Amino acid sequence: MSPPAGTTRLTRSQRAQAAAIAAAGYPTVALLGRSLRWTVRGYEHYEALERAGQPPIFAFWHGRILAATYFWRRRGIVVMTSANFDGEWIARIIERFGYGTARGSTSRDGRRALAQLRRDMQAGRPAAFTVDGPRGPARSVQPGAVWLARLTGQPILPFHIEASPCWTVRSWDRAQVPKPFARAAIVVGQPIPAPPASEERIETTRLELERALHGAARRALALMGRDA
């Protein structure tokens, strides 16, 4: 069987490894997610877009993938995953949570993946970006979500999640893994309108999104009783 368009051809061993990781990873994330105790702020922003028939472009930091995967499950969201081995097992896990995938990244096959995301959004499906991925710098917005907003005319919906207690991975994104039965706070920001086709306005929107995500992070930390 040929690999999906935009993916790196994996060996049979790599495909087997990805399947094994997904088989263990999905129930682990599902069990952990069910144990979390959520505090939610700003969810009405998402509900308003849903009522208006406007599929949003969810935007969040790479280090919050695990909790975000569980919280936003079963909503038909399409996400961009890397076209490599890591992207393969990640895609297999999130697809079990009801997500769609577009293979590529801002550094490889990005145009093809953006084209697929655009088609999916035109069909009414929301999209999602880890806006500082795939390699960072951490908490610095890359323009992919803004480009997609310009292409589709749909708004960007920023959000941030904090959990306590949690483990913090020693990685570039300082990925957060909530501990079982942790408290988790999610702050959903106000939608950011799609920019017009102007390089200056795209940069302005990118900076606006970055400020919104930092603001959401401060609010989420405050809900956890912690300082930014």
Task: Reply yes or no on whether the pLDDT at 9 is more than 70.
Answer: yes
Would you say the pTM of this structure is higher than 0.85? yes
pLDDT computed for residue 195 by the predictor: 95
The string of pLDDT tens digits covering residues 70-122 is 999 999 999 988 778 888 998 999 999 999 999 876 555 667 888 999 999 99
User: Which residues face 128 on adjacent strands?
Assistant: 58, 79
The string of pLDDT tens digits covering residues 26-82 is 999 999 999 999 999 999 999 999 999 999 999 999 999 999 999 999 999 999 887
If DSSP states are collapsed to H, E and C, what string results for the chain?
CCCCCCCCCCCHHHHHHHHHHHHHHHHHHHHHHHHCEEEEECHHHHHHHHHCCCCCEEEECHHHHHHHHHHCCCCCCEEEECCCHHHHHHHHHHHHCCCEEEECCCCCCHHHHHHHHHHHHHCCCCEEEECCCCCCCCCCCCCHHHHHHHHHCCCEEEEEEEEEEEEECCCCCCCEEEEEEEEEEEEECCCECCCCCCHHHHHHHHHHHHHHHHHHHHHHHHHCCCCC
Give me the percent of the chain exceeding a pLDDT of 90.
79
The string of pLDDT tens digits covering residues 178-197 is 999 999 999 999 999 999 98
Least confidently predicted of 3-12, 96-105, 170-179: 3-12
In whole angstroms, give the CA distance from residue 126 to residue 148.
11
pLDDT computed for residue 2 by the predictor: 41
User: Which residues face 81 on adjacent strands?
Assistant: 103
pLDDT computed for residue 40 by the predictor: 98
Phi first, then psi: give them for residue 31, nearest 5 degrees. Answer: -65, -45
